Amino acid sequence: MARAVIYGIPVSPGLALGAIRRLHGASSGERRHIAVEDIPAEEETLRRAVAAVRAGLEKTLAGLPPALADYGEIVTAQMELASDPRLMGTALARIRHRKICAAWALEETVEELCELFRGMDDPYLRDRAQDVRAMGLRLAEALRGEGAPRGDASAGILAAEDLSPADVMELDTASILGILTAEGGPTSHTAILARSLRVPALTGVTGLPEAARDGENVIVDGLSGRVLLAPDEADLAAYHKRKAAYESFELETRAAAVLPAESRDGVRVSVRANLENARELDDLPALGPDGVGLYRTEFSYLGRELPGEEELFAEYAAVAARVAPLPVIFRTLDVGADKALAAHAALREPNPALGLRGIRFCLAHEDMFRTQLRALLRAGATGNVALMLPMITDCREVRGVRRILHELRHELAAQGLAHAARLPLGVMVETPAAVLTADSLARECDFFSVGTNDLIHYLMAIDRNNRHVAYLHEPLHPAAVRSLKQVVDAAHREGIPVSVCGEFAADPYGVALLLGMGIDALSAAPRFVPGIKHMLRKLDADGCAELVHTVLTLPDAATSRQVIHERLRRALGQELSFLATNHATPGTP
């Protein structure tokens, strides 16, 4: 193969050089119609494939190495998914009603479920499409009579259309140098596993199925999102130099992670971690966060039945106790009619991003919401807990939640259950309505947290899952920068702190602007915390305030990026490229 470059989404940092090891064959199988008398045989073929996959996963689960024991529940979830009625039942129905073969029915069912998850607005739930597709690939291989996907024992770069954690665990993990997939995102299980294995990984790699050929050498750059195919001698020399510099940088930032994030002119910013689930707590102490700025509570609601109060209380209390005395901010349930709550038959909506989601969904389904709030109030007695409400557009929504909390405290007291007498209540600022009424909202709240991902989505009137308009998801657009400044100023006028918990909080350009705006806290994925703190110690707040003043006068994002890049290049030098993980795109400085 000739030297070439393809791009993906960097989801685990680092650099690696190795030979491609392909896993999984083509995702599409045979497509044929069947006679009525052949329906039972095709149904039985699918059932046998499911049984074979479950047996293989049970074997994987039994042989999990101690270092990966925490991922056992993911493999268990994969086993449940294999026979989930939404997958198995729908595929069997297609065989019966459309008289098509098992492979065709499976392919269509997997694609339908993937589209359902891809349309979800929450990135964590959206990345569950990768779990469904990976399971579909395993089932398709079982239908073709192929065994579990195992590469050879030599070290290399795993490449596949999709991977599940079970796929990776079936291999010698010590031989995995890097991971490339055509599907998936930053919160996919494969991404989380890659970070725990400390190997670079890219998802959403353009042209991967066509470009990745077994045995050919590639360089994976998990910092810039590049994959260099068939590198030459000059490429190899540059790779070794960059890898050594990055590893030195990593050691330095990790060693200093426990130090406070204080700018050169003495301004301290709290740097916190966003958590998807409790498994991520184990690594937190070494990364030095000042608490948890966003704990997503949706994971518990993805099962077949809604969780009860005791189950939720056990989860929330355990998290609060582990993080104490540092704060943990729980975002209340952020699902809506577009989210697949198996136990809740919500209405399908033509445009769920503009429909019954976030706080709207919770207030419309108050019994379910009260169960969660009772669990959170009880967990507040075990740690430093705060509540954060998503998708707020009106002060009445905040008042409605305060009313419910007041009633629940009386209930808990009457039942003799320990609970927090008061929990700080904040809101996610992620809609234009919240930006434009930030002054009024600030008088109803104890804190703000800006969700830049959704805010940009709504400001720019785009579906960020639509590749045709993805280029408009630009955090340096003047509308986004001016909105952030307006929110920070409104919060501070009312005497409440404000944080940013979207991807912009881990973007070097974002960190510089937010420091200049006077942000109180930044919250990002745990792996970004040491780098953010390191960068804040290299910047001065007064200089960044001048930078903000300049950027607010600029006409477009490209000009702003150039101006900020020049300031950061002088302050950070080569380190700027090490800090841009997960936000790099081709052509970006």
Catalytic residue among 101, 114, 189, 419: 189
Single out the catalytic residue among 501, 534, 544, 583: 501
Tell me how crowded residue 232 is: count the other CB atoms within 10 A of its CB.
9
Q: Is 544 a residue of the active site?
A: no
| Residues facing residue 176 across a β-bridge | 156
Distance of CA 412 to the CA centre of its chain: 34
469 token code pair: 């308009």
Q: Tokens for 385?
A: 């807990």
Q: How far apart are the first and last CA of the chain?
A: 28
Place of tokens 């305060």: 402
Query: Residue 47 half-sphere exposure, CB side, CA atoms within 13 Å?
Result: 9
- DSSP annotation of 523 reads E
Strands (E), 38-134: none
Collapsing DSSP to helix, strand or coil, 23 comes out as coil
Residue with tokens 């740690």: 383
Residue 507 DSSP code = S
| Residue 166 parent element (H or E) | helix 165-169
Q: Which pair of tokens denotes residue 38?
A: 């052949």
- Quick one: CA torsion of 399, 401, 407, 413, rounded to 10 degrees? -120
Tell me the pairing of strands 447-450 and 498-500. parallel
Token pair for residue 279?
């498994």
Which one-letter DSSP state was computed for residue 470?
G
- Cβ burial of 573 (10 Å; 0-12, 13-18, 19+) is exposed
Phi-psi category of 145—alpha, beta or left, where left has phi over 0 and alpha has psi -120 to 50? Answer: left
Q: Are 572 and 579 in contact (CB under 8 A)?
A: yes
How far is it, in rounded angstroms, from Cα 469 to Cα 460?
10
Quick check: 202 and 222 in contact, CB under 8 A? yes
ω before 40 within 30° of 0 (cis)? no
> Which residue stretches of 272-393 are H helix?
284-287, 309-323, 359-364, 366-379
Q: Is 457 assigned a catalytic role?
A: no
- Given a contact cutoff of 8 angstroms between Cβ atoms, the answer to whether 294 and 327 are in contact is no
Burial of residue 348 (CB within 10 Å: 0-12, 13-18, 19+) is exposed
Identify the residue whose tokens are 């990345």: 127
Supply the residues annotated as catalytic.
189, 501
